[in-house]
Amino acid sequence: MSAPEVRSATFVAETRAFASLPPVGLPEFAFIGRSNVGKSTLLNRLAARHSLARTSKTPGRTRGIIFYDLQLGELADQMRSGGNSGSSSSGPLLRLADLPGYGYARVSQAERRSWQQLLEGYAERRPTLVLFVVLVDARRGIEEEEQQLLEWLATLSIPSRLAFTKVDKLTASQRGQLRDTLRSRLPRIPTGAPLLVSGQTGDGIPELWAAILRALPGAASESAAPIVPNPH
Ligand SMILES: Nc1nc2c(ncn2[C@@H]2O[C@H](COP(=O)(O)OP(=O)(O)OP(=O)(O)O)[C@@H](O)[C@H]2O)c(=O)[nH]1
Ligand SMILES: [Mg+2]
């Protein structure tokens, strides 16, 4: 499995309030997770660009929702349709949304409230939202916040996919243990099979791309993770 060619990746907008979200356009894939989990690094890796999204060792780097539009090459069309598509010269267009990280202590109450409102408005009322990719640090595992987030998205019927980041920091046996733990917990995780990824090494990126492309409207359905259309 390989990742599709990303023909272009462009910054669209950064917004801190629901009222100033950019006009709806391409199908959107939102990346959410604890501060410092590696959201921006993963977006750069997906886009195959070094510095599209700003990354930082200091938590709390991304403060608003930042949107990027991607134009993919034709391999993406083949991945979407399970390999039977014709030979079109360019692939699909889609939008990635980098959300601010939660759980960062040095953020004021006011900023926390405004971020919460932005997230709720975005999740509940964005018609082009396709999928939430919920990122979890592979060394921390799923904590209370992630469990609540997954359950909240499920109550809104918003499809979500869990991805464990920074798996390059795990030994092979720790990765095996994580997979075993996830398999035993799966019935309690309201999402498709979790992905193991690394923005640093590119591990799991083709699988993450496959999940994104199969969730795109009009794509062949993915049997491991049925996609429920977002009714909002
Ligand atoms: N080893 C390793 N380090 C990573 C990986 N992804 C991110 N990092 C490091 O983790 C730190 C945070 O990465 P970011 O991508 O900025 O994290 P973020 O989730 O966007 O953070 P906020 O915007 O603050 O919420 C940086 O020092 C990255 O270099 C990864 O896959 N492996
Ligand atoms: Mg970030």
- The confidence score (pLDDT) of residue 224 equals 39
Output the CA 54–ligand 1 centroid distance in Å: 10
> How sure is the predictor about 90, in pLDDT bands with cuts at 50, 70 and 90?
confident
Q: Which atom of ligand 1 is nearest to the CA of 101?
A: 25
Residue recorded with tokens 């939430």: 132
| 34 within ligand 1 shell (Cβ under 6 A) | no
44 lines ligand 1 (CB under 6 A): no
Which listed CATH number (3.30.1650.10, 3.50.50.60, 3.40.50.300, 1.10.3720.10) goes with 6-215?
Answer: 3.40.50.300
| pLDDT average, residue stretch 24-45 | 95
Where are the chain's structural domains?
6-215
pTM above 0.85, yes or no: yes
- Ligand 2 centre from 100 Cα, in Å? 6
37 close to ligand 1 (CB < 6 Angstrom): yes
From 35, 37, 41, give the residue whose CB has the most ligand 1 atoms within 8 Å, as the site to mutate. Answer: 41
Ligand 1 atom with least separation from CA of 41: 15
DSSP 137-204: ETTT---HHHHHHHHHHHHTT--EEEEEE-GGGS-HHHHHHHHHHHHHHGGGS-SSS-EE--TTT-TT
The type of residue at 210 is A
- 37-51, 79-93, 217-231: which has the highest mean pLDDT? 37-51
56 C-alpha vs ligand 2 centroid, how far in Å? 7
Angle between helices 205-215 and 39-47 (to 10 degrees): 80
- The number of angstroms, rounded, from the C-alpha of 141 to the middle of its chain's C-alpha atoms is 17
Q: What percent of the chain has pLDDT over 70?
A: 85
Q: How far is the CA of 54 from the centre of ligand 2 (A)?
A: 6
Longest dimension (CA), the chain: 53
Of the listed ligands, the closest to the CA of 33 is 1
- Taking only the tens place, the pLDDT of each residue in 202-213 is 999 999 999 999
Spacing, Cα 61 to ligand 2 middle (Å):
5
Kindly tell me if the per-residue pLDDT of 84 is higher than 80: no
Read off the pLDDT of each residue in 187-216 and give the average, rounded to a whole number. 89
> What pLDDT digit, counting tens, does each position of 101-155 carry?
877 767 788 888 888 999 999 999 999 999 999 999 999 999 999 999 999 999 9
pLDDT bin (cut points 50, 70, 90) of residue 192 is confident
For the chain, the residue count is 232
The residues placing their C-beta within 5 Å of ligand 2, an ion, are 39-40, 61-62
Q: Between vectors from CA 108 to CA 103 and to CA 109, what angle results, nearest 5°? A: 85
C-alpha 98 to ligand 1 mean position (Å)? 12
* Ligand 1 atom with minimal separation from the 201 CA: 31
pLDDT the model gives residue 195? 95
Tell me which residue has its CA closest to atom 14 in ligand 1: 38
